[in-house]
Amino acid sequence: MNQCAMAVLEEYPDIVFSYGYGDEYSFVLKKTSKFYQRRSSKISSVIVSFFTSVYVTKWKEFFPLKELRYPPSFLSQIVCCASLEILQAYLAWRQRDCHVQNQYNTCFWELVKKGGKTEMEAQEILKYAKEQDRNELLHQQFGINYNDTLALLRQGTCIFKTEVEDIVKYNEDGTPVKRLRRKAGIFRSENIAGRRFWNAHASLLKELGNFSEDCFKTNPDYIRSFLFESKLMPSTWIVIRIDGCHFHRFADVHEFNKPNDKQALDLMNLCAVAVLEEFHDIVFCYGVSDEYSFVLKKDSQLYQRRASKIVSAIVSFFSSMYVMKWKDVFWKKELKYPPSFDGRAVCYPSNEILQDYLAWRQVDCHINNQYNTCFWSLVKSGKSKSEAQNYLKGTQACEKNELLLKEFGINYNTLPLMFRQGSSIFRVKRENPTLIENDASSVEKIETKIVTEHCNIIEQSFWEAHPSILN
């Protein structure tokens, strides 16, 4: 977790401080940050996506003998701290929670592993135990001084950048040339919200300011009032649209075929199928290039329709699958760095408007694919990228088709459907239902399977052929 958080800090310069324990991490962006124009959905989704990708990528480094059995995912939410005092209170709250949880868990597992108690019995013993009671239990029954346990577990971990001397080169006589560089480092303290720790680090003072008072008491309800928890409109279709971050660069580094890489699209489709399997409220997915739209049913109560939770859960799971499935598709290519995706949630009140949205995405797929097919054909024929752009400027669809046919012998209408129409993923009823025998009669159990099709979803005939998607 700490290594993943450090990677996030290195990747996004606007993040100036992070604190974590257990399976949780908080990332503090500087007050003047314009990261993603301060759009909360974009910020939270891209950070959680990158964190997840790094987590899966680094798994083997830390667990060389353990297989990652299923894709991990993380939830995220935004907390807006209007003042330094609120940030201080937030950090004090999280560190206090770290201590309370760790102390409880230490007692609980000592009682189970060494005390011979069942988990139910251990819970009952600790039900009303206060902090001092738990310390005495550990000391008297198991000879453990809680304050001597690992600081990592009791205090959590802070990560932020400090200036350190780094050797950049060596002179001819062998003497090192040093420069001050900002590097992320790990720090710990009993009170990360205290003046002594905070004000001792110049980088924190420069980016965030100084704490004038110590913070000893926390009020969780006060801090929770600053949580950004918008709920999506009820009784509407929810569409979660995810997009690859800087995927032009990602495609270049990993040498994807232009204008379309079938393996890369197959990987996106595999991930989307996995998302549909994981989240049963998703009824339809449509994807093209590095983009996927996931449609949740109208009456979905997934995460109580909290936008940040839904978006982050889907983006995180998709990112996790992308890294895990990479070798299944690109078995000859190394994944050179962790990919990331951003996401957003949009509500559509009627079937017609939802269908219009999906039609828009498919039209966009066709327009982009037609243009890109022409563009890369021109580039491969010897034109520069700027020449190809100027050549295609202002051309209509029929002119592009004529260019492809006459200049390159390509009939656009015979290109693979996946390139021209994108991919639609949804559930259909199995042809042979399962019979369940009861005492008196037999009942048919309706089962579904997930299919991936490359078809025209603009025409009404598709929706008439699959009425269960929107009903």
Summarised one tens digit per residue, pLDDT across range 159-216 is 999 887 777 788 888 888 778 788 889 999 999 999 999 989 988 998 899 998 888 7
d(CA 11, CA 51): 10
Tens digits of per-residue pLDDT, 19-42? 999 999 999 999 899 999 999 999
Residue 316: CB atoms within 10 A of its CB come to: 27
If we measure between CA atoms, which residue out of 63, 68, 71 comes closest to residue 3? 63
| Residue at which a domain ends, from 165, 199, 226 | 226
> pLDDT category, 363, cuts 50, 70, 90?
very high
d(CA 457, CA 407): 31
Please give the C-alpha separations between residue 354 and each of 241, 284, 293, 294, in angstroms, as whole numbers: 13, 11, 11, 11
Q: Is 459 found in the same domain as 337?
A: yes
Under a CB-based contact definition with an 8 Å cutoff, are residues 76 and 312 in contact? Answer: yes
If we measure between CA atoms, which residue out of 223, 234, 310, 246 comes closest to residue 275? 310
| Residues 6+ away with beta carbon under 8 Å from 91 | 19, 26, 192, 193, 215
288, containing H or E segment: strand 282-288
Q: Is 391 found in the same domain as 278?
A: yes
Tens digits of per-residue pLDDT, 389-411? 999 999 999 999 999 999 999 99
Q: Indicate whether 439 pLDDT > 70.
A: no
Residue 72 lies in a domain: no
| Residue at which a domain ends, from 202, 226, 250 | 226
> pLDDT category, 223, cuts 50, 70, 90?
confident
Residue 345 lies in a domain: yes
Specify the pLDDT at position 169. 80
d(CA 157, CA 163): 19
| Residues 6+ away with beta carbon under 8 Å from 325 | 267, 270, 271, 274
Higher pLDDT, 148 or 224: 148
Specify the pLDDT at position 463. 97
Tell me the one-letter amino acid at 114: K
| Residues 6+ away with beta carbon under 8 Å from 139 | 145, 146
Specify the pLDDT at position 373. 97
Q: Is 134 found in the same domain as 21?
A: yes
Q: Is 330 found in the same domain as 274?
A: yes
d(CA 352, CA 355): 5
**Mean of the per-residue pLDDT values for the chain?**
93
Under a CB-based contact definition with an 8 Å cutoff, are residues 208 and 178 in contact? Answer: no
Specify the pLDDT at position 443. 60
Tens digits of per-residue pLDDT, 283-311? 999 999 999 999 999 999 999 999 999 99
pTM of the model: 0.92
| Residues 6+ away with beta carbon under 8 Å from 105 | none
418: containing domain? 237-469
Q: Indicate whether 438 pLDDT > 70.
A: no
Specify the pLDDT at position 165. 76
Residue 59 lies in a domain: no
User: Tokens 């710990």 belong to which residue?
Assistant: 188
Specify the pLDDT at position 442. 56
- Choose the weakest-confidence range: 250-254, 363-367, 417-421, 434-438: 434-438
Residue 47 lies in a domain: no
Higher pLDDT, 169 or 362: 362
If we measure between CA atoms, which residue out of 249, 300, 296 comes closest to residue 276? 296
Q: Is 241 found in the same domain as 209?
A: no
| Residue at which a domain ends, from 172, 193, 226 | 226
Q: Is the backbone peptide bond immediately before 176 cis, with ω within 30 degrees of 0? A: no
332 is written with which tokens?
Answer: 């000859």
Specify the pLDDT at position 469. 95
User: Tokens 């807006």 belong to which residue?
Assistant: 80
d(CA 252, CA 336): 11
Q: Is 108 found in the same domain as 182?
A: yes
Please report the beta strands in 171-235, taking only residues with DSSP state E, as ranges in sequence order.
176-187, 227-228
Q: For the chain, how many structural domains are there in total?
A: 2
> pLDDT category, 381, cuts 50, 70, 90?
very high
- Choose the weakest-confidence range: 168-182, 320-334, 416-430: 168-182
Specify the pLDDT at position 170. 83
Strand-pairing partners, residue 243, are 291, 342
60-66: long-range contacts at Cβ-Cβ below 8 A with a sequence spacing of 24 or more? 61/3, 62/3
d(CA 6, CA 320): 18
Residue 231 lies in a domain: no
The CATH number of the domain holding residue 142 is 3.30.70.3000
Residue 153 lies in a domain: yes
If we measure between CA atoms, which residue out of 348, 310, 302 comes closest to residue 41? 310
If we measure between CA atoms, which residue out of 289, 286, 293 comes closest to residue 250? 289
Q: Is 206 found in the same domain as 324?
A: no
Q: What angle do CA 437, 442, 443 make, to 5 degrees?
A: 100
Q: Indicate whether 106 pLDDT > 60.
A: yes
> pLDDT category, 465, cuts 50, 70, 90?
very high
Q: Indicate whether 431 pLDDT > 90.
A: no
Q: Is 320 found in the same domain as 282?
A: yes
Q: Is 265 found in the same domain as 172?
A: no
Q: Is 304 found in the same domain as 212?
A: no
pLDDT exceeding 70 applies to what percent of the chain? 97
pLDDT exceeding 90 applies to what percent of the chain? 83
Q: Is 155 found in the same domain as 16?
A: yes
Residue 66 lies in a domain: no
Specify the pLDDT at position 329. 97
Q: Indicate whether 282 pLDDT > 70.
A: yes
Residue 395 lies in a domain: yes
Q: Is 437 found in the same domain as 328?
A: yes
